[in-house]
Structure formats: C-alpha cells, structure tokens
Amino acid sequence: MGPRFVDWAITSRCNLRCRHCLAEKAEEMPRELLLPLAEEIVELRPDWVILEGGEPLLREGLLPLLSEMEGLDLYLITNGSLLGEELARELGRRGVRVVFSMDGASREVYEETKEGASFQSFQRGVERASREGIFHGVTVVLSRKNLHQMGETVEFVRRQGGKFVTFIPLQPRDGGEDPYYRAYGLSPRDHLRAMRLIYGRDWGVEVYYDAPFLWAFAEREGVSLPGGRSGITIPEVRGCACGTTLYLAPDGGILPCMFSPPSLTLSRYPEESLRRAWEKVRGSELIRRFKSREGREPPCSPCPHFHQCFGCMSRVLKVQGRPSAPDPECPFGNAGKGSGGGGF
C-alpha cells in the first residue's frame, strides 16, 4: 500500500514573507532530478499529490513536472500573486486544482500576515483561477491574528465558487523559543471556539479543521465532518496522519509530515529511492510508539479518544521535546495553557 498522499515542497523560495512561514531556506534539488522523482511518485500510486513551497510557481520546470504526473489527482498550493492568465490556463489543461493560501479576509490582516503581499492581487488570482475552473479552495494558517475572520473567509470562498476551506492552526517553529507562536498560537479554548463556530452551521462549502482532536470534538459534540477531498486532509484517517503520508522537502529530505522537525528526516532522495523512504515511514518506531497508549503520558494515554486523535506529533516534539508528552493545545485534556474544554 502506498501513501495516501505525497506532499512535495518543490522549492523553498518565495516572493513573499509570511510571518508564520516554516519553510527553511534550503538547497533545492537540481532540476534534472525533478522528473525521475515525479516518476517514482507515480509508481507509488498515492491517491493524490500536493505541490507546494515556498511558492511553487517560482520553480523552474514546473509545467513539465505537472505533465509527468498528469493522471494523478494534483493540488497546487500557491499564494496566488504570480498566477497570470496564461499560467492559469496551463494548469487547467493539466487538470491541476489550485488551493490558495489565504491568511486574512481583509486587506489589513492579509497584508500584515504576509509581508510584501497585496490583497488585491490575491483576489485577482482567485478570480482568474475561478474563471479557468481550477479554484478548489483555500488553506488558512489560523492564529490569533485571523481567528475573528473565519466566517468572512468561508464566505469569500463560497462567493468565488470554491469547494473547500481548510483551517490549519499555527504551528510552532523547531528549535526553542518562537515569539510569533507564543503571541499568536491558539490556546485550547481558542480551538474549541473555532471548531464550534465552524461546525455550528452549514456554510455552503466544506470546511475542515486540520487538528488531530477534531474527531474527539465531533464525537463529543455530535457533529458530522465533511467527507469530500480537500487536497490537504484525509477524512477517513482519524487523528494525526503521520505514517499514512509522505512529505518531500525541497532538498530531497523525506519526513512524516510538513511540520515534522528536521531531526525526523527519515530518508533523502536520491540517496534512497522513494519506495525505500516510504518503507521507513511505515516502519518508523517513533510513529508506532507515538500512536500507542503505552508510549504516551496522561492525559493522552488514558484518553477515550486516543485512537482517533493521538495529538499532533510535530507539535508535541517541538513544544514538549519528548514524543511521550501530551498535545499542549488539546482542548479536551488538561495539558495546555488555558484549557477551555475541561478534563475527562
């Protein structure tokens, strides 16, 4: 069995500077390796492939790469500022679905979050994609900067004919103190409020909250979750998706997920084949222990939702420093700051 999806950051370069960006400036794989790697991805037969960055539209050789993977379900995540009409048409011809990163629903919040960005040019990019029929939806890095704009964001996507909004709560950086995360990261109470807001009504587009405790929330509050394909998340895989997907860094490093700390690099392309990298992810003892009750501490270990959650492995490693620790943002345990959900 192959990975459910492959998430490939094809460049670490970007024309903007998002304040939450976790993309490390890294050596890019030489262009001549792109097509052989794409071929190996096709052979692994993932259900879909995500291309992202940095800004993937900056990667030379993008269109031949997309042609190589034609036939796969392809999603491209872009900030949209470089998406001209001709390029939108080329993406449409190759059946690519475009997902925009949208970290604010007003000019002020958007431009404050993405340094060097223009909200107007983002809107034009969405309109172009919409006209070409390739606008799939948006991802939002959700933080205390844009938490109050969740509803406006979903409304924007609905008006433009998008299908999906995926809220991805702000993740910490690796390696110690992270002032941005400390200031704008969500508390357990924020998570609970956000999920209640999202799933308290029908928005007319599918809305997904990318946190492992989403299924715990759904069970506790009796809400049903969207079943469609957002391009980012796997509805039928409950909880942390580590071990079911493959993340390729711009320099060929292979990790369980895009938020994994670099110390979790399990393999490197082309030194090892992608199939070998996938075997290593599948056989990772770290992931196995993280997903077992005996490998974890309370409140995760005795949690009734454990097997449909596990907590976020990347966040646990970066914030708590040991894989056995609980998820500090969980609204249902008592592990984090300002827990709003109460214990069990």
- The sign of the CA dihedral 171, 156, 239, 199 is positive
Q: Which one, 59 or 238, has the nearer CB to ligand SF4? A: 238
Nearer to ligand SF4 (CB atom), residue 137 or residue 311: 311
Question: What is the closest distance, in whole angstroms, from the C-beta atom of residue 159 to ligand SF4 in the complex?
Answer: 29
Taking the least distance from each CB to ligand SF4, the nearer of 96 and 317 is 317
Report in angstroms how near the CB of residue 311 gets to ligand SF4 at its nearest: 4
Nearest distance in Å: CB 121, ligand SF4: 29
How far apart CA 254 and CA 277 sit, in angstroms, is: 7
Q: How many CA atoms lie within 13 A of 11 on its CB side?
A: 17
Cα–chain-centroid distance for residue 332? 22
Q: Across the strands, what pairs with 100?
A: 78, 138
Given the complex with ligand SF4, which of 139 and 314 has the nearer CB atom? 314
Distance CA(310)–CA(292), nearest Å, equals: 8
Closest CA to 144 of 101, 182, 173: 182
Residue number, 91 or 248, with CB nearest to ligand SF4: 248
From the CB of 81, what's the least distance to ligand SF4, in Å? 26
Instruction: Identify whether the C-beta of residue 318 lies closer than 8 Å to the C-beta of residue 173.
Output: yes
**Min CB(175)–ligand SF4 separation in Å:** 17
Q: How far is the CB of 153 from ligand SF4 (least distance, A)?
A: 20
Distance from C-alpha of 49 to C-alpha of 3, rounded to nearest angstrom = 10
Kindly tell me which of 56 and 299 has the beta carbon lying closer to ligand SF4.
299
Q: CB-based contacts of 179: which residues, under 8 Å, 6+ apart?
A: none
- If the CB atoms of residues 20 and 315 are measured against ligand SF4, the closer one turns out to be 315
Residues 6+ apart with CB under 8 A from 113: 18, 19, 20, 103, 104, 141, 143, 145, 146
CB 331 to ligand SF4: min, Å: 7
Phi, psi (degrees; rounded to nearest 5) at 167: -90, 125
Give residues in contact with ligand SF4 (CB under 6 A): 212-213, 216, 240-242, 257, 259, 299-300, 303, 305-306, 309-315, 326-327, 330, 332-333
Instruction: Pick the closer one to ligand SF4 by CB: 80 or 333.
Output: 333
- List the one residue out of 200, 252, 208, 203 whose CA is nearest residue 232: 208
* Distance of closest approach, residue 244 Cβ to ligand SF4, in angstroms: 8
Minimum separation from the CB atom of position 173 to ligand SF4 (A): 14
Cβ distance to ligand SF4 smaller for residue 253 or 311: 311
Q: 122 CB contacts (<8 Å, ≥6 apart)?
A: 79, 80, 81, 100, 102, 110
**Residue among 26, 35, 331 at smallest CA distance from 195:** 331
Strand-pairing partners, residue 78, are 100
Q: Which residue has the tokens 């970007």?
A: 14
